[in-house]
């Protein structure tokens, strides 16, 4: 069971990195509208949410719901390259965290304001869904700046 969840995270990481591989450091500050995240912030947000879901389900602190504080954190990301490093690091930490969790905890219910009552393992599906959502946003960003994103499911 756990191995399948870990493979889901590894696969989502590869799909995301395939899609954004056409973007570069020069694209870091692009955003379609003023109120939207930049390229760098989109990548960082996708990265940060891995820990948000895992901490929410498995951690003692639960889901952090202070989104104003969160938005301030996201505004600090200015570099595409640094955000990609953060993305890779957060996925590696997420995989390590799952490796340390026992099967009984994976099926225990979530006790927070998000996904209440679902088995804790369900957050892996939520991470996949959320990562795919931002992968799609970044594919649109790439096209808006004249770049064609790679098919995410191609090179593994």
Give the pLDDT of residue 153: 87
Q: What is the pLDDT of residues 110-151, one digit of tens each?
A: 998 999 999 999 999 999 999 999 999 999 999 999 999 998
| Contact yes or no for 47/91 (Cβ under 8 A) | yes
Higher-confidence residue of 57 and 64: namely 57
Residue 46's pLDDT is 98
Average pLDDT rounded to a whole number, residues 22-30: 99
Domains and CATH numbers, the chain: 2-25+36-144 (1.20.120.450)
Q: Which residues pair with 119 in a beta bridge?
A: 109
Output the pLDDT for position 85: 99
What is the overall mean pLDDT for the chain? 95
What is the per-residue pLDDT for 156? 56
pLDDT band at 100 (very low <50, low <70, confident <90, very high): very high
DSSP per position, 14-48: HHHHHHHTT--GGGTT--SSTTSPPHHHHHHHHHH
Residue with tokens 């969790």: 101
55 Cβ contact partners less than 8 Å away, ≥ 6 residues apart: 61, 62, 63, 64
Alpha-carbon span 101 to 30, nearest angstrom: 39
Burial class of residue 92 (count of CB atoms within 10 Å of its CB; 0-12, 13-18, 19+): middle
């Amino acid at each position: 069971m756990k191995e399948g969840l870990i493979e889901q995270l590894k696969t989502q990481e590869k799909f995301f990195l395939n899609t954004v591989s056409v973007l570069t450091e020069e694209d870091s500050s692009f955003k379609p509208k003023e109120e939207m995240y930049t390229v760098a912030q989109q990548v960082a947000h996708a990265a940060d949410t891995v820990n948000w879901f895992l901490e929410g389900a498995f951690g003692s602190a639960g889901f952090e719901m202070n989104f104003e504080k969160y938005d301030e954190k996201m505004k600090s990301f200015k570099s595409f390259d640094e955000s990609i490093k953060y993305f890779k690091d957060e996925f590696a930490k997420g995989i390590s965290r799952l490796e340390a969790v026992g099967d009984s905890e994976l099926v225990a219910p979530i006790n927070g304001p998000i996904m209440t009552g679902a088995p804790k393992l369900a957050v892996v599906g939520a991470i996949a869904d959320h990562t795919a959502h931002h992968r799609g946003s970044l594919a649109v960003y790439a096209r808006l700046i004249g770049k064609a994103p790679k098919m995410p499911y191609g090179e593994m």
